Structure 1
Amino acid sequence: MIFAQNLTKMLYQPWPWYVSGPLIALIMALLILMGKRFGMSSNLETFCSIGGAGKFSDYFKIDVKSKRWNLLVVLGSVIGGFVGAQLLSPNPAVNISDKTVTKLQELGFDSAGTAYLPTELFSVESLADPKVWIILLVAGFLVGFGTRYAGGCTSGHAISGLSNLQRPSLIAVIGFFIGGLIMVHLLFPLIFTV
């Protein structure tokens, strides 16, 4: 009984780095030993290949069977996200600093601190605004282009690439951080104060 209570208590809190970090390292070591690469963007490539994109572009002519295992990662992420949000989050508020909430609310994001995705951009009602469509389409294009240009996504480079000690992944991760800082501190206020 006490074990179940402690387990439940542990699941309702964020895991400390000394638990989650070694678990990530263990998974990465197993993937490296099995000759597999981890990354979420490779799943999009597989989905496009399954959907028939190989008929239009040689890039998508890949062996889908060898990448099926990675599709389980997507399924696990969806299920894990649902379980985490619906069953293990007694408080739906997002735990970010009050200063960040204030700055976001000044930019018009009244849902800051209460929703994981800002309803000002991701609700059905917000899709009536052409500016939201433009922002989402441009952002989607930039993410897709950047992922393809960098040869992988943030998780692929930062977790898998750095675990393999790949110099291109280190360069990509540094670029991701610099790009993120430029976006948050320079471009984000320009986009949302207009």
Structure 2
Amino acid sequence: MVDFLIQPWPWYVAGPLIGLTVPLLLFLGNKTFGVSSSLRHYCAACMPAGISYFEYDWKKAGTWNILFVAGAFLGGFLGGYIFENPEPVQISSETVTALREAGITSFQGLVPADIFNWENLLTLQGLTFMVLGGFLVGFGARYAGGCTSGHAISGIANLQLPSVVAAVGFFIGGLLVTHYLLPLLL
């Protein structure tokens, strides 16, 4: 069983499981799915009264989301430390060549250790990637009214036009950053 869990799952298994998430949520009476909205529920559960944005019945509105994020953290821990796949992430040879030309040499783990490590955190490149990048992801998720999983899985399945626009924007932004900004930062 452990050997099965540490291997990457093929698209024809993982895709339908993700796709079945929305019908399952609808069956359970919940129409939303995403990570970024959970932060509001956590704050509503922990913040003192007096802030109107957090004054709502978070137990009714957000229990599913809170459990989902807790499960994502647990799954990330289990996948990263307990069931860690010793093989490097499989990426195309063209991508490896392009990354090597940009100075990336380490392809072990989920992210390049040349960029994402504690020693690099206090460099301009590290601050840009990890601190500024993290802030922009959080700001973008809040500004877009949800994260990629919320818009692309739940919003589009609920036929919400803003989610289609947001998902298209995520992809366009990712392509622009990959092809124009990332080469400048590396």
Q: TM-score, normalised by structure 1?
A: 0.81
Runs of 4+ in 1 over 4 A off after TM superposition: none
1:51-73: per-residue Cα shift (whole Å, max 9, x none)?
A: 42875x54343432121221111
Tell me the CA shift for residue 9 of structure 1.
Answer: 5.1
Q: Which moved more, 1:62-71 or 1:80-89?
A: 80-89
Deviation, 1:155, is: 0.3
**Residue 119 of structure 1 contacts residue 126 of structure 1 at CA under 8 Å; is this kept in 2?**
no
Aligned residue for 2:110, secondary structure, equals: coil
1:69 aligns with 2:64: yes
Corresponding residue for 1:114?
108
RMSD across aligned positions (CA): 2.4
User: 5 Å matches for 1:152-167?
Assistant: 152-167=146-161
Q: Output the amino acid matched with 2:94.
A: K
CA–CA separation in structure 1 for the residues paired with 2:115 and 2:101: 15
Task: State the Cα distance separating 1:83 from its structure 2 match.
Answer: 2.5
Higher relative contact order (CA closer than 8 Å, sequence separation 6+)? 2
Identity %: 47
Q: 1:94 aligns to what?
A: 89
Matched, 1:82 2:73: no
Structure 2 unmatched runs, 5+:
none
Q: Alpha-carbon deviations, 1:86-116, whole Å to 9, x = none?
A: 34444241111222123223223222x2121
| SS of equivalent residue, structure 1 residue 80 | helix
Give the stretch that moved more between structures: 147-156 or 40-49. 40-49
Q: Matches of 2:135 and 2:48 in 1, distance apart? A: 17
Q: Which of residues 172, 177, 180 is equivalent to 2:174?
A: 180
What is the alpha-carbon distance in structure 1 between the residues aligned to residue 54 and residue 96 of structure 2? 42
Unmatched 5+ residue regions in structure 1? 1-6
2:137 paired with 1:147: no
Deviations 1:113-165 (A, max 9, x none): 21213333332211232442244332223212211121100000001111111
Q: Which residue, out of 13, 22, 26, partners 1:19?
A: 13
Pick closer, same or farther for the CA change 1:161–1:126 going to 2, 3 Å: same
Higher helix share: 1
C-alpha spacing 1:92/1:43, structure 2 compared with 1 (3 Å):
farther
